Chains A and B, each alone.
Chain A
C-alpha cells in the first residue's frame, strides 16, 4: 500500500460504557470522541492539542489499534486499524509520558532487548540498533543500570528509544514531555524534530503550547471529542488576531471577580491558571480596547504581582478555541 497519507481518520467515534455496583448497577455512557476526521501526510509532524478529557488519548488508542472505534474508520499507511492490526502494528511506535511503561527490575539494555524481540527486530540488527538508540537518547554508559533508579527524564528518553526500535513509519507521542525538566524537554524536542526531518510521521499530543508551536507542521485542537480547529501554528495564532492580552499575577482571585471580568466591555476570554500559591490571570480583549485599568479595578483588594500587556500567542488562540467549544 502506498497511500499519500500516513494517517487517515474519517468520522472516528468512541463511546465508553461503564457499569458500577452489583446489586443496583449504574450504567453510564460517555462519548469520548464524537466524529474526528483528520489526515496526516507522510513525514508530517502533527500536533493534537486539547484539555484533559478532550479525547486525545482515545483518538491515539483507536489509531494505534488498542481500541476499536465505535464508528468511523482509520487507516495507517493505508492499513485498516481494525482489520489489519498486524500490518498497522509493524509500522507504528507508541510513546507515552510518565513513570510507567517500563520493566523497573530490568536494565535499560534489557528493556530494549526484550522489546526488540516483541517488535520483531531481526537478531543480527538488535545490538547495533540498540546502541544507536541509546546514543540518540543520551543513555550510553547508563544502559546497564536498573530502570528503577532512573529519573523521569531518563525514563522518558528510554520510552522514546523503545518506541523507535523497529524504525516505525508512524510514531505516536502521547504527552512525552510531561514532568520532564526544561533541559531534557529541549533534548526531547530536538530528537522529535530530527525524526520528522528524517521522514518519520509523528502525531504528538502535548499540553505545552510552545512545544507544539516549535515542532508541529499542523495542529488540530480537540475539545469535547471533536476537532475544533485545524491548521498550521501561524493559522491558529491568527484566531487570536485583533486581540490584546493582559496577564496579572495574583493571589486568591475570587470567583465573583472572574465573573465581573468576563462581563467587562471588550473582554473576549478569561483564564485562571493555578501555579502553586500564585495564580496567573489572563484576560483577552479586543485590541482596540484598553481593559487593563478596568481589570485592576475589579481586582481591588486582591494581592497582585506583576502585570503585563502583550500580543497574543498560540496558547491564547488555543484558550479561545477551547472556550468556544
Chain B
C-alpha cells in the first residue's frame, strides 16, 4: 500500500513539482498546438510528395505527439532535481529508488496519452480521416503503450542527467531521432536498413505500426505483436533507467559527482 502511495501520490506531486510545461500557455503552446501543426506540415508535405496517405501521417504524428511530453518529462523527472537543489534530499530517502522514479513516469505517460488523443482528434477533424469506432479502444491502447515506453525512455535520459550536466542536449537529439527513425513520418521501408534497425529499439516505432494496423481495420489480434513489442521496448528502458540510476547514485557517493546541496 505504501509503495502504491509512493507511485500514485508521490508521482503526481513530483509531476507538478518538476514538469516545466504545466502552465496553460506552455501546455497549450508546446504540447497541443505544436504537435498539431507538425502533423499538418507532414500531412501536406506527404500529399505533395506522394509518400503516403493522410492516415499514415495522422496516426504517426498522434503517437509522436506523446513523445515531447514523455521524453522531456521523463528527463525533467530526474534532471530538474539538480535545478531545485533537491537531489540530496531525494537520495537520502530510505525508499526504493526504482519505485520513486518509476512512479514519476506514470503521470507523464498519462499526459502523453491525452496529448496523443488530442492530436489524433485534431488530425481526423481537420483532414477528414474516418477511423472505425471499433478500432478506437485498440488505438487508445497503442497510444498508451507508446506514451509509457517514451516515459521510460525519457527517464533513461534523465538518469544520464545524474552523470552528465548537459543532458538536455541528449534529449533534443533523441527527440529528433524519434522523428527520423521510428517510421512516424518516413515509412520505415524507405529508410536505410541500419536506420530502420535502430528504430526497432526506439519507443513509438511499434506503437505507430499497431495504431496504423488498427485504423486500417485489422483486428487487435493483428496489432498485438507490435503492441507487445512496444511494451517490451518500454520495459527495457524501464530496466535500463533503474540500473543507470543505481549505478550513478553509487558513483556519486564514491566520486562526489552530484550536487547534493
A binds B: yes
Residues of A128-181 at the interface with B, using a CB-CB cut-off of 8 Å, are 162, 174
**Residues 89 to 131 of chain B near chain A (Cβ within 8 Å):** 89-95, 100
Q: Knowing A114-B13, A114-B14, A174-B261 are in contact, say whether A66-B94 is a contact too (CB < 8 A).
A: no
| Interface residue tally on B, bucketed by range | 20 to 34
Please tell me which stretch of B25-33, B169-177, B193-201, B248-256 contacts chain A, meaning at least 4 of its Cβ atoms lie within 8 angstroms of it: B248-256
Option from B16, B89, B256 in Cβ contact (under 8 Å) with A118:
B89
Apart from A101-B89, A105-B17, A120-B93, what are 17 other A-B pairs with CB-CB below 8 Å? Answer: A17-B255, A66-B253, A94-B88, A96-B88, A101-B261, A103-B17, A104-B84, A106-B16, A114-B17, A117-B13, A118-B6, A118-B10, A118-B89, A118-B90, A118-B93, A118-B95, A120-B2
Partner of B91, one of A66, A90, A110, A114: A66
The winner among A67, A117, A123 for most chain B CB atoms within 10 A is A117
Which residues of chain A are within 8 angstroms of B9 by Cβ–Cβ distance? 113, 117
Residue of B nearest to A121 (CB): B2
**CA–CA, A66 and B18, complex, Å:** 22
Q: CB-CB < 8 A to B13: which residues of A? A: 106, 110, 113-114, 117
Count the A residues whose beta carbon is within 8 Å of the partner chain — how many?
36
If A16-B256, A101-B261 touch, whether A114 touches B92 (CB-CB below 8 Å) is no
Binding site for A on B (CB under 8 A): 1-2, 5-6, 9-10, 13-14, 16-18, 22, 84-86, 88-95, 100, 252-256, 260-261
Q: Which of chain B's residues have a CB closer than 8 A to the CB of A98?
A: 85, 261
Q: Which residues of B have CB within 8 Å of A102? A: 84, 86
Please tell me if the beta carbons of A114 and B10 are within 8 angstroms of each other in the complex. yes
* B88 engages A66 (CB within 8 Å): yes
Closest 3 CB pairs of A and B: A100-B85, A103-B17, A118-B93
Q: Does A53 contact B (CB under 8 A)?
A: no
A103, B77: Cα distance in complex, Å: 12
Please judge, given known A-B contacts A66-B253, A162-B89, whether A105 and B16 are in contact too, CB under 8 Å: yes
B residues less than 8 Å from A110 (CB atoms): 13, 16-17
In the complex, chain B residues whose CB is within 8 Å of the CB of A118: 6, 10, 89-90, 93, 95, 100
Contact of A120 among B16, B90, B95 (CB under 8 A): B95
Contact of A123 among B2, B14, B84 (CB under 8 A): B2
B108–chain A nearest beta-carbon distance, Å: 16
* Contact partner, A61, options B85, B95, B100, B260, Cβ 8 Å: B260
Known A-B contacts A67-B253, A103-B18, A110-B13; the reply to A120 vs B88 at CB < 8 A is no
* Docked-complex contact A119 and B94, CB < 8 angstroms: yes
Residue of chain B at shortest CB distance from A89? B94
- The smallest beta-carbon distance between B112 and chain A, in angstroms, is 20
- Bound together, the chains give a CA A66 to CA B250 distance in angstroms of 9
Residues on the B chain within 8 Å of A101, using CB: 84-86, 88-89, 261
A200 contacts the other chain (CB 8 A): no
Return A267 CB to nearest CB of chain B, in Å.
39
Contacts of B100 in A (CB 8 A): 118
A123 and B5 contact, Cβ closer than 8 Å, known pairs A101-B86, A110-B13, A113-B13: yes
Report the nearest B residue to A107, measured CB to CB.
B16
Cβ of A64 under 8 Å from chain B: yes
**Most chain A beta-carbon neighbours within 10 Å: one of B9, B14, B261:** B261
Give Cα A96–Cα B89 distance, bound, in whole angstroms: 10
Complex CA gap A118/B7 in Å reads 10
